[in-house]
Structure 1
Amino acid sequence: MAVYTVHGPASYYGTDVRTAPEQLVFVRDGFYFWAFVASILWLLWQRLWLATFGYLVITIAAEIAMWSFGVGSGTRFLVMGVIALLVGLEAGSLRRWKLSRRKWRQLDIVVADSEEAAERRFFERWNAKTARDGNRGNASSPPPLPRASLTQSESVIGLFPEPGASR
């Protein structure tokens, strides 16, 4: 199961998400294979201009440094592979960073098998929240994250061994 973060523009926050759901962006957290295999193309495709510039600066600086020290081709390949691996691992964070720079807000976090399932879960929770609040025309806050409820018979891991115990 993948974790998705749901983002919407700042002007979108506080409006009903059902009016323009195509504006929402779902960003998967995890490893992006295409960002690893073709880093520069993936960065350009996602329109991550600052990240593309940073990637070019780092790779060119690494190549110049390895050339000046007379490093062999195997080590050069390994260093470039590590840089590509880092891009693949941080691709989702780079997309979230771009959205935050554009003043987009994170509306929710959803766990699902696919992006389509994440969309379904997000809108189900959002609709449930608006129905619960009795305010169907204007949802002013994102849906609450699911929380586990504990009964008195269940134990709690951490500093307080019993639910409701004195501190």
Structure 2
Amino acid sequence: MPTYTVHAPPPKSGDTTSAPERFRFVRDGFHFWAFLLTPLWLLVHRLWLALVIYVVLYAALGFGLASLRISPSVQLLVGVLIALAMGFEASSIRRWTLSRRGWRQLGFVVGDDEEMAERRFYAEWAKRPNDAPPAPVSPEPTYTSTVRHEPPGGHDVIGLFPEPERPR
């Protein structure tokens, strides 16, 4: 089943939270149209910076391969590999663009298609109290146990075996 990441836009001026109808769902996985028609796919999804970077790098790579007199079959193979990479990384490029524009990632949801993912997400969203913002993702775990600063003593057990001098 496909996995979707859910993104919330930055709140409009005067609002404290984003409107749920503006949330965006980005599917993980391979995007066939990004593989087949990369520039057009980037245009349709309004990924302007990614399009500029793609065109510049693709032109520079094409010029470099042509100036080195690499065979056309190898140039075609390089083009197919770039297209394959774009197909696999299309969702990552969309998430990067959204985060660069100030969108927050709220979480992920699993569904057969985008409509099912939206239904599941909004069903859980409706159960949430209105005044409670989504739980932020903790940047790093916190530990409550103390740290030992001396070497282990003779009474400490390491592993599952009893100490040799003690009876069972």
What's the TM-score bracket when you normalise by the shorter of the two chains?
Answer: 0.7 to 0.9
Q: Contact 1:35–1:91 at 8 Å: present in 2 too?
A: yes
Distance 2:61 2:53 in 1: 12
85-94 or 121-130, larger mean C-alpha shift: 121-130
**1:141 to 2:140 alignment:** no
Q: Which residue does 2:26 correspond to in 1?
A: 27
Distance 1:91 1:14 in 2: 31
Question: Which residues of structure 2 form unaligned runs of 5+?
Answer: 138-168
Task: Return closer, same or farther for 1:62/1:78 CA change in 2, 3 Å cut-off.
Answer: same
Q: Which 4+ stretches in 1 moved above 6 angstroms?
A: none
Q: Contact 1:14–1:140 at 8 Å: present in 2 too?
A: no
Q: Which residue does 2:116 correspond to in 1?
A: 117
What one-letter code is carried by the residue in structure 2 that aligns with 1:32?
H
Distance 2:122 2:136 in 1: 9
Q: Which residue does 2:92 correspond to in 1?
A: 93
Q: Contact 2:6–2:108 at 8 Å: present in 1 too?
A: yes
TM-score, normalising length: structure 1 = 0.74
Distance 2:35 2:78 in 1: 13
**% same residue:** 49
Q: Which residue does 1:75 correspond to in 2?
A: 74
Distance 2:50 2:134 in 1: 31
Q: Which residue does 2:65 correspond to in 1?
A: 66
Distance 2:128 2:136 in 1: 6
SS of 1:88 mapped into structure 2? helix
Tell me by how many angstroms 1:114 deviates: 0.5
Tell me by how many angstroms 1:35 deviates: 0.3
Q: Contact 1:108–1:122 at 8 Å: present in 2 too?
A: no
Alignment of 1:144-159 (within 5 A): none
Task: Return closer, same or farther for 1:122/1:143 CA change in 2, 3 Å cut-off.
Answer: farther
**1:7 to 2:7 alignment:** yes
Q: Which residue does 1:159 correspond to in 2?
A: none
4-13 or 102-111, larger mean C-alpha shift: 4-13
What one-letter code is carried by the residue in structure 1 that aligns with 2:4?
Y
* Number of residue equivalences: 135
SS of 1:107 mapped into structure 2? strand
Tell me by how many angstroms 1:85 deviates: 0.7
What RMSD in Å do the two structures reach over aligned CA positions?
2.1
Q: Contact 1:126–1:142 at 8 Å: present in 2 too?
A: no
